């Protein structure tokens, strides 16, 4: 059973009261789903049986909150943000917005509307529930729109609102929620026709969304882009939203698309590439989390390839230039990271120069002690990282760094293999165990760099040499 499977099993075994509290915390953003290691949909599914056993109203107005967030569910994400981006709302913003509407904007009517919604939930009257929820969302949208418009002209009120909600970014989130509620019918129509977690945004689906977008644009051009942003949130490969941009704009290159309303979609993708590049820019070579580095490289590679497959990025265009700059940042960081790998390999498999020939003189392996486990672990991590990422080298602009490093490591291993075999032919009994330990690690490295056959041959030759010294 994997760790993920074990977590799902643990969640499904929680008692109902604990399951309710946990789901409340996740959906309100108090406990980001990422901290649990599962998407919110999987957490909800795992807790489903326990939640179903709870009768009556669940703590924290969870059902109301879920229905409230449904129209903009594709904007929601777990975790924290560095800055506000259009169409992205952290779950932690939902509860302050809900409380703002309930306690300040429409305190006289909102509780009664919420009670009516709860009544229809309990009675399982879907038609009445839909009608009641529509009234609630439209009322909330109107109240928020009026408040946001006042914020635009009344600085004192804007400051007070930001203080109440938890910052100006949350005010911007509230503006987006209000805008979504204004185009509620179109958003719900999209949600009914476009599934979540789309792996392939095919032509039929693109055409359907384009028609819906065009109809909405005729009625409300300022808010139509939210429909596209919501669809983007349903794509497993977010760069595929550029297919919609191409279809609507009837353009195929970044310089033209970036001048349309759809520029916001491409901008989000390019900004994500720049955020990844920023992560690399702040690296300290030799002290990096290589697993995280690998994940960042995968994301950059997939995203940059995806963008360039969907539209033509021109070198003279803003997006094309920014992609190249981000790629150069990563390439430089990878080169700096690789710079110490040959030294680390030499530290794990030490060689001593002998004679008076300087740097060109012969070298002898140092088997005076057993291999250093920490140094072995370090080079293992580094080799694993190199080999896992070498197929992505071109997409991150780091092919030259890989082409320089791998031959250097292989050349060192050729020298070391000859030296360890020579040492094993003449080593004393008290160092034979040390020599064999170094041989086994050298074979492990050789297998990763040149293949299993070469490693097996090295082990065989080493053991023959050791027997000859006995």
Query: In this structure, are residues 350 and 379 in contact, taking their beta carbons and an 8 Å threshold?
Result: no
Query: In this structure, are residues 341 and 404 in contact, taking their beta carbons and an 8 Å threshold?
Result: no
Of 348, 339, 358, 357, the closest CA to residue 420 belongs to 348
Q: Is the pLDDT of residue 195 over 80?
A: yes
| Residue partners of 190: CB distance under 8 A and separation at least 6 | 209, 212, 227, 230, 231
pLDDT at 59: 42
**Residue 76's beta-bridge partner residues?**
89
DSSP 258: T
pLDDT at 432: 83
Q: What is the pLDDT of residues 85-123, one digit of tens each?
A: 999 999 999 999 999 999 999 999 998 998 898 888 888
Of 227, 316, 248, 306, the closest CA to residue 273 belongs to 306
d(CA 151, CA 126) in angstroms, rounded, equals 37
d(CA 292, CA 299) in angstroms, rounded, equals 11
CA atoms within 13 A on the CB side of 76: 24
pLDDT at 29: 60
pLDDT at 355: 56
d(CA 165, CA 145) in angstroms, rounded, equals 15
When mean pLDDT is compared across 49-58, 130-139, 179-188, 229-238, the lowest value belongs to: 49-58
Q: What is the pLDDT of residues 360-402, one digit of tens each?
A: 556 788 888 899 999 999 999 999 999 999 999 999 999 999 9
Q: What is the DSSP string of 264-289?
A: HHHHHHHHHHHHHHHHHHT--TTS--
pLDDT band, very low/low/confident/very high, at 32 (cuts 50, 70, 90): low
Query: In this structure, are residues 169 and 84 in contact, taking their beta carbons and an 8 Å threshold?
Result: yes
pLDDT at 469: 62
Query: In this structure, are residues 399 and 393 in contact, taking their beta carbons and an 8 Å threshold?
Result: yes
Cα distances (Å, whole numbers) of residue 248 to 179, 186, 193: 21, 17, 19
Of 280, 285, 266, the closest CA to residue 331 belongs to 280
Q: Is the pLDDT of residue 63 over 80?
A: no
What is the number of other CB atoms lying within 10 angstroms of the CB of residue 127?
A: 8
Query: In this structure, are residues 91 and 77 in contact, taking their beta carbons and an 8 Å threshold?
Result: yes
pLDDT at 57: 42
Residue ranges of the domains in the chain? 1-55, 265-337, 341-469
When mean pLDDT is compared across 26-35, 209-218, 231-240, the lowest value belongs to: 26-35
pLDDT at 55: 46
**Residue 364's beta-bridge partner residues?**
352
pLDDT at 106: 94
For residue 176 the two structure tokens come to 């987006």
């Amino acid at each position: 059973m994997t760790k993920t499977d074990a977590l799902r099993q643990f969640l499904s075994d929680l008692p109902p009261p604990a399951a309710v509290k946990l789901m409340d915390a996740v959906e309100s953003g108090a406990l980001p789903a990422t901290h649990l290691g599962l998407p919110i949909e999987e957490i909800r599914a795992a807790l489903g049986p326990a939640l179903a056993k709870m009768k009556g109203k669940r703590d924290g107005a969870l059902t109301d909150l879920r229905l409230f967030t449904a129209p903009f569910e594709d904007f929601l994400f777990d975790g924290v943000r560095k800055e506000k981006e259009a169409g992205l709302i952290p779950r932690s913003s939902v509860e302050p917005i809900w409380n703002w509407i309930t306690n300040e904007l429409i305190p006289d009517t909102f509780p009664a509307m919420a009670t009516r919604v709860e009544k229809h939930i309990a009675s399982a009257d879907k038609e009445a529930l839909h009608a009641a929820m529509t009234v609630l969302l439209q009322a909330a949208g109107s109240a928020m729109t009026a408040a946001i418009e006042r914020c635009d002209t009344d600085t004192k009120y804007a400051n007070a609102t930001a203080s109440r909600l938890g910052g100006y970014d949350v005010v911007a989130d509230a503006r987006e929620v209000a805008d979504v509620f204004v185009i509620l019918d179109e958003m719900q129509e999209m949600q009914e026709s476009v599934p979540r977690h789309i792996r392939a945004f095919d032509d039929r689906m693109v055409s359907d969304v384009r028609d819906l977008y065009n109809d909405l644009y005729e009625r409300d051009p300022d808010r139509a882009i939210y429909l596209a942003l919501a669809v983007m949130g349903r794509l497993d490969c977010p760069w595929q939203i550029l297919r919609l941009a191409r279809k609507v704009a009837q353009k195929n290159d970044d310089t033209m698309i970036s001048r349309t309303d759809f520029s916001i979609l491409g901008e989000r993708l390019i900004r994500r590439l720049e955020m990844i590049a920023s992560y690399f820019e702040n690296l300290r070579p030799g002290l990096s989390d290589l697993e995280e580095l690998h994940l960042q490289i995968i994301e950059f590679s997939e995203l940059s390839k995806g963008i360039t497959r969907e539209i033509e990025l021109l070198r003279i265009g803003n997006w094309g230039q920014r992609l190249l700059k981000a790629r150069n940042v990563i390439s430089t960081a990878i080169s700096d990271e690789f710079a110490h790998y040959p030294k680390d390999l030499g530290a794990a498999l030490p060689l001593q120069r002998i004679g008076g020939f300087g740097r060109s003189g012969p070298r002898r392996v140092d088997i005076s002690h057993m291999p250093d486990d920490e140094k072995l672990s370090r080079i293992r991590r580094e080799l694993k990282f190199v080999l896992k990422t070498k197929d992505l080298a071109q997409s991150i602009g780091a092919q030259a760094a890989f082409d320089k490093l791998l031959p250097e490591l292989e050349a060192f291993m050729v020298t070391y293999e000859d030296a360890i075999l020579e040492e094993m032919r003449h080593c004393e009994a008290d160092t034979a165990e040390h020599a064999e330990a170094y041989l086994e690690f050298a074979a492990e490295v050789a297998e990763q760099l040149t293949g299993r056959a070469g490693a097996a041959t090295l082990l065989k030759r080493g053991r023959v040499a050791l027997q000859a010294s006995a």
